[in-house]
Structure 1
Amino acid sequence: MRFLGRNALLLAACLCMAAVSFAGSASAGPWRITEERWSASDEKAWQDFVAALGAADCWTFDACIKSPANPYRHTDPKTRFYVDCADMPYVLRAYFAWKNGLPFAWQTAMKSGDGPGTDIRYSQEGNIVVGRGAVPRTPSGVNALSVLRGLTGTVSTAMYRRNAASDDAYMFTDTYSPRLDREAIVPGTIAYDVNGHVSLVWRVEPGGRVLIFSSHPDHSLSRGFLGKEFLRTGPQLGSIFQKFRPIAVVGAKRASNGALTGGKIVGTRNAGIPDFSLEQYAGSPPGNPYAWRTSSWLWNGENMDFYTYLRARLSAGELEYRPVAELRSMMQSICFDLRSRKQAVEISVGRGIQNMTPPERLPRNIYGTDGVWELYSTPSRDARLKTAFKEMYDLVVAFIDMDAANAPRLRYDGSDLAGDLLAAWGEQNAACDISYVNSDGRTVALSIERAIARLYDLSFDPYHCVERRWGAPENSDGEESASCRDGALKTRWYKAERTLRNQIDRTYDVDMGYSISELERGPWGLRTGKGVEEGPEVDVKAYLTGLVARRDERRAEIANPFATP
């Protein structure tokens, strides 16, 4: 995505610096629209298409589109696809529509509900649709890649930041808010994080976990679970779940070759969509969706928080926690995140960004900007990684508490939960093979444990050496960091940014454009834009090791009560 400035209005444009680039002179096949609407079988095929791409062993959008997971790959002209997180749902949906002769339409202009002069990606009152476009219906069709190129120049996360209750007949939103159940939350559902990130659901596990994948400004692809990093808000901002609104071509004629010509695009109103619901805002039992902060989440007589309720609703049966399997799954997801981060850092290093002189100031906001920083920095990615580590830590603590209380939802038949979790931790840590190549060309081995030990040392700053990007210890040993070639200025920046690395909450509405001396002076706090003094506890292994050690001490005391302490 190329963001078109911070004005209140985002206008459609076919940019010459588009995110879909061409290799060679092959032209795209025409996009002829032959179907008036997406049928139920089309929607099911769309779900299967997204599910296959999500499950594929590919780590860029371009690689996924060219992989065996894409049944249409052999029909593509020679081209390369580059998309970021906001583009991906639109480009995939448009690509699928092209290959199946289906209609496609999109928002071309958004106006901030906050008034003029605001960044519509982070508006406090959401955005309003003020322009719409659609693929033309002509007998000869249109150049499909030109449409995809235009989308990447138009789409930003601002497109998703709209009121979920909006129901305009003409300036309708591209997406709607779905019901929270397994029939509605399916592959192809959009997961929108109001802090500036968009993912696609590619699987919902029987136990209710939602698997997602997303692209990034550096074109790498990441996969993981939907968790608390996706903030729940009121309907005016459109979090979390969205699905593409059904559309239809009306008033068109059919050419001799079967293509539809003319007519107009009509969007289905909310009342006509079977799984439309404001449940994710109104709660259960439903209340006022705009009073979302006080919503209740009651399921089968049990009060829950939203994320537990979501998982209960999406479970194939009763919500159950199998702690050892849960820990393994979370560690596997984090391993995927670390590998995706590795690719992002490699792209930055490959471009030589670490050899450039850093600007005198940080961007106005390090989480949402443009240029070199947007393409090659990782503050948002790293914040989501830290949140995943914290969520894993909190859940492990909860499992231990549930076991002590004999909680009915915990499914564990053993007698040593802490020990079994610790054993699973060791196995999954050993299975996560990750490394990086340092500035001298040597391979440095990493692991989940090493990532935790240096979590708040991982630099998001693309101007730092690769050793600092991976948090190489700078203690008296300093062997790993010795190959770093950063000079005094970059070293000073690295130390000054420590408080920003400690912060796991992404504050897109806070000014962060500080000079190095301003950053060093503080004060620090979540709303200062300078970070926080300490990050939260995330060391699962240390927690479990402590529990096992205390258990062993108690056992020893029971076995030999007269031993001298």
Structure 2
Amino acid sequence: MLSRWRKVAFLVACVSLVMFGMSAAAHADARWRITKERWSESDEKAWQDFVAALGATDCWTFDECIKSPANPYRHTDPKTRFYVDCADMPYVLRAYFAWKNGLPFAWQSAMQSSDGPGGDIRYSSNGNVVVSRDSVPRTAAGVPAVPILHTLVNVVSTAMFRRNSMADDPSMFTDTYSPRLDREAIVPGTIAYDVNGHASLVWRVESGGRILIFSSHPDHTLSRSHLGKEFLRTGPQLGSIFQKFRPIELVGATRASNGALVGGRIVGVPNGEIDDFSLEQYQGSPPGDPYRWHSASWSLNGENLDFYTYLRARLSKGELEYRPVEELRAMMQSICFDTRSRKQAVEVSLARGIQNTDPPHRLPDNIYGTHGVWELYSTPSRDARLKTAFKEMYDLVVEFIKMDMVDAPRLKYDGDDLPADLLAAYWEQNAACDISYVNSAGSTVALSLDDIIDRLYDLSFDPYQCVERRWGAKGGELATCRDGPEKTRWYEAQRYLRNQIDRTYDVDMGYTVESLERGPWGLRTGRGVEQGPEVDIRAWLEGIVARRGAPRAEIANPAMTP
């Protein structure tokens, strides 16, 4: 099965694989019979509940989640193992739910880059167009469902999400559409597409407007976090950020004696007929030209906001309010979960013994989007998102302190020493987050989030390096690493790449170690940057607490903030 994947790996942004182990009889019984012409409101609500339950479950792979008590259909499954990556997860979950509920399902089976011949459909500059579609056959006896899921993971890639949100072709319609930005539209099951090659599913929107997401990865581990600035906003031609599955209808079918629908064709509901279709995420508020998205403004109740604050305000119940201590706790809990998910990914690589093999002579053409061993077991994209989360936490806490100094009405804080209270919450959550790894000598090394912050730019994304370097060890902690001079040289040369939190998928990065060492360095060089952004919020807060006797004007000195 793996060899088959390698034949198509160059087509996909997120590597995917489903493995099946079942008897022929079980395969024959797992049939998909279409009994409904369309997804009703109750079906869509059940879909939302299905995704929400899976997202809230303590499971670390897609296969674990689908076999957990959160899945009410698990007892009806044949003996099947699911290994699904980020792009596949929304499609496979939607198809799985449709199968279990007798619903129609269709998908884009081929995409073409709008950049012209030879363009990479995963990272096309102008998006993609649909050139072929397929759907679940409608027969009285039904069709085997598992091979359809297998087909999806071999066909679907992040290229499916990279399409123009204004496209409305009646025959080659897109599988998804752009929704409004409110609590009625951004619901569990909504897709969050990162144009840097990643897709997630929303599984909860909190009362304060925070959007919780989960996603699968090339090594089949699952991560959960909240949607932040790592999801870049772009123009409609690339389809970022939010997408929902388009309503479809089965027309012209006949109903067999057993209730199954036979024949007919699948029709997509046009954008204009979808209640929550909107180009708001591109047009701004008040709405402007979606193709001039760079200049879009965001105003709510007379207040000018940036896009991400506007989004959260729109999704909040009532007025958007920041409760800084609770916000810090929530952000650290999310980062803790992401770090524990990274641990799972590193352990998968170690179990395969990749760290014991010789590294290639040069890096992949792009370390963020490739295939083979590097795609499956390296973590540059995951690590970049983790660094972005730490930076976002740092920036937000700095903003909370500034808001407190001017008694900003949006900040809801009743104490009299916000820096000290934030610092106390930091240490509380740091103690609550249990992180550890087993070193090359077989001993357990305990870490904390505070340790991770101190070594954030030392965490190696390279699967060929020892576990100690994967976790940024130094001094005595590094002594058990068995890497030789060649791997040590690679680690040092990759420092500038580790400093970079921006994922540049369109930049050539296939350098040798000698070329990495020579430089020059910069965001568009493909060699990394000389320094990563400041993320040490603990040190920043400690500095303020130590200076608490200083005049407020000194504390608010812009030189002390990023």
Separation in structure 1 between the aligned mates of residue 107 and residue 6 of structure 2, nearest angstrom: 17
Separation in structure 2 between the aligned mates of residue 499 and residue 241 of structure 1, nearest angstrom: 32
Matched-pair contact (CA < 8 Å) for 1:112–1:120:
yes
Separation in structure 2 between the aligned mates of residue 108 and residue 356 of structure 1, nearest angstrom: 37
Separation in structure 1 between the aligned mates of residue 21 and residue 10 of structure 2, nearest angstrom: 32
Q: What is the Cα-based RMSD across aligned positions, in Å?
A: 1.3
Separation in structure 2 between the aligned mates of residue 6 and residue 231 of structure 1, nearest angstrom: 24
Q: Show the counterpart of 1:450.
A: 451
The Cα shift of 1:165 comes to 0.3
SS at match of 2:391: helix
The Cα shift of 1:116 comes to 1.0
After superposition, residues 118-517 of structure 1 pair within 5 angstroms as 118-473=119-474, 478-517=475-514
Q: Show the counterpart of 1:84.
A: 85
Range moving further from structure 2, 23-32 or 370-379: 23-32
Separation in structure 2 between the aligned mates of residue 277 and residue 215 of structure 1, nearest angstrom: 27
Matched-pair contact (CA < 8 Å) for 2:253–2:265:
yes
Q: Pick from 534, 539, 550: which aligns with 1:542?
A: 539
The Cα shift of 1:552 comes to 4.4
Separation in structure 2 between the aligned mates of residue 172 and residue 6 of structure 1, nearest angstrom: 25
Separation in structure 2 between the aligned mates of residue 293 and residue 169 of structure 1, nearest angstrom: 29
What percent identity do the matched residue pairs reach? 77
Q: Show the counterpart of 1:4.
A: 8
1:522 is aligned to 2:519: yes
TM value normalised by structure 1: 0.95
Q: Which whole-Å deviations, capped at 9, do the CAs of 1:180-223 have from their partners, x for residues lacking one?
A: 00000000000000000000000000000000000000000000
Separation in structure 2 between the aligned mates of residue 214 and residue 519 of structure 1, nearest angstrom: 32
SS at match of 2:8: coil
Letter in 1 for 2:230: E
Q: Which whole-Å deviations, capped at 9, do the CAs of 1:275-307 have from their partners, x for residues lacking one?
A: 000000000000000000000100000000000
1:30 is aligned to 2:31: yes
Report the count of equivalent residues.
543
Matched-pair contact (CA < 8 Å) for 1:2–1:153:
no
Separation in structure 2 between the aligned mates of residue 540 and residue 214 of structure 1, nearest angstrom: 27
Separation in structure 2 between the aligned mates of residue 439 and residue 418 of structure 1, nearest angstrom: 40
Letter in 1 for 2:439: N
The Cα shift of 1:24 comes to 4.0
Unaligned stretches of 5+ residues in structure 1: 11-16, 556-565
Matched-pair contact (CA < 8 Å) for 1:2–1:18:
no
Unaligned stretches of 5+ residues in structure 2: 553-562
Separation in structure 2 between the aligned mates of residue 510 and residue 142 of structure 1, nearest angstrom: 44
**Residue 43 and residue 3 in structure 1: after superposition, are their counterparts in 2 closer, same or farther (change >3 A)?**
farther
Letter in 1 for 2:318: G
Letter in 2 for 1:206: S
Letter in 2 for 1:21: M
Letter in 1 for 2:8: L
The Cα shift of 1:6 comes to 5.4
Separation in structure 1 between the aligned mates of residue 438 and residue 56 of structure 2, nearest angstrom: 28
The Cα shift of 1:23 comes to 2.4
Separation in structure 2 between the aligned mates of residue 497 and residue 514 of structure 1, nearest angstrom: 10
Separation in structure 2 between the aligned mates of residue 200 and residue 18 of structure 1, nearest angstrom: 17
SS at match of 2:38: coil
Matched-pair contact (CA < 8 Å) for 2:516–2:527:
yes
Q: Which whole-Å deviations, capped at 9, do the CAs of 1:313-337 have from their partners, x for residues lacking one?
A: 0001100000000000000000000
**Residue 2 and residue 246 in structure 1: after superposition, are their counterparts in 2 closer, same or farther (change >3 A)?**
farther
Separation in structure 2 between the aligned mates of residue 373 and residue 250 of structure 1, nearest angstrom: 45
Separation in structure 1 between the aligned mates of residue 256 and residue 470 of structure 2, nearest angstrom: 58
Q: Which whole-Å deviations, capped at 9, do the CAs of 1:405-448 have from their partners, x for residues lacking one?
A: 11010000111000000000000000001100111110000110
The Cα shift of 1:143 comes to 0.8
Separation in structure 1 between the aligned mates of residue 549 and residue 441 of structure 2, nearest angstrom: 45
Q: Which whole-Å deviations, capped at 9, do the CAs of 1:207-254 have from their partners, x for residues lacking one?
A: 000000000000000000000000000000000000000001000011
Separation in structure 2 between the aligned mates of residue 125 and residue 225 of structure 1, nearest angstrom: 28
The Cα shift of 1:4 comes to 3.1
**Residue 2 and residue 221 in structure 1: after superposition, are their counterparts in 2 closer, same or farther (change >3 A)?**
farther
Separation in structure 2 between the aligned mates of residue 18 and residue 514 of structure 1, nearest angstrom: 27
Separation in structure 1 between the aligned mates of residue 514 and residue 80 of structure 2, nearest angstrom: 46
1:533 is aligned to 2:544: no
Q: Show the counterpart of 1:562.
A: none
